[in-house]
Each structure stands twice: as C-alpha cells, then as structure tokens.
Structure 1
C-alpha cells in the first residue's frame, strides 16, 4: 500500500507541475486516503504513526497549496502580508509538531521500548 501511495502522490505532483488541474485534484483523494489508512494501520507503533501522520499533514498542505494555485487565490491577501498560500504552513507545522513530539518527548522517555505491530 505504501508503494501505491507514492504512485498516486507522484501523479498528483505531476498534475501540479504541468498545471493539469483534473489530474492534480483527482489524485488528492487516493493519495490522502491511503495516507490516512497507513496512519491507522501503524497506530500501535508510535514511531511509524508519528512519521506517517507527518506525511499525511504534508500531503494535506501540499494539496491545499496546489489547489490555491490552480484556483488562483494563492497570492491574495489573507491578513496583511500573509497570503492564502501561507495557510499551507498550518498543516506543515502540524507535521513538524508530530515529529517533534516523537523525537523530543516520546522517544527519550521510551529508549528501550521495542515497537511491534
């Protein structure tokens, strides 16, 4: 499933790069759906779950950014110098926080814990 996820992700980004709106937008659905399934399947392994959740937030941010460019509202002002494209930073930072939680809080407190599925 992880390998198929990468295929969908690549097609989504190819659609974005070539400005093929239908391909880019349609590929959001399977890419994000598989990402969420992977998070669910790894929920018993904190390391894997945190990394996969960060990837899910990354895909969400990336997809929002792509849509904002496709629909031409990316450069519009949201608040002062902050544009709508900058709102993609919210899920990007959520991904960073997932990894920070794992590496700064969880992992140091569980150094010898062996994770199993």
Structure 2
C-alpha cells in the first residue's frame, strides 16, 4: 500500500464530497464508514478511455491512496498516470446530473463526458 499526498494528486470538489457523504449515509450500514472512492481508467468509450468510479472497502497491494477534502480516494498505478491533477466533481443541474472528472490530461473528450483521450 502506497500513500501519496502531493499537489498532483486526485482532488475532490465540495459538491462531490457532499454527494459521496450522502450516498454513504443512505447505505445505512456500519460498513459504510470503511468505504472509500475507487477511481480508475479503463479502455473503452467513444474517445478510447473511460472513467470508472466505485465505492470499495478493500485496498489492493499496489493501490495509490490520496485524501482530499476529507475523502479517501484510491486508484491503481496505471490509472494514476491518466488521473494526476484531476478533480472529481458532481453536478445536479439541468445540463446533467452525476459525477464528472475535470481532467487536465485529456486532449479530447466525448460529448457525454464519460470517455477521453490523451
């Protein structure tokens, strides 16, 4: 397990933090307190790479661990290369509802915002 805290880590916006806390509260079980956000990048999507966001409670040996805005974020080393400097955000506005990634490494994104290319 590696812990990394730097200016180039993965960030969490206030809106994303509030939604994450709401989801974990709604889980209404004691194990929710041990869950963290796992983000990764997988092949696929119309631009070539897609984001994957899950709640998890088990760390893996090569996980890279960050904490920002009081939220624990875990990713694998391969995904970290694509995600450095990225901010996880949340919107519940009229133009779309859900989590989205503000990724400075993305050269282009698709219209839905769920995939990107570097």
TM-score (norm 2): 0.24
Larger Rg: 1
Higher fraction of strand: 2
TM-score (norm 1): 0.24
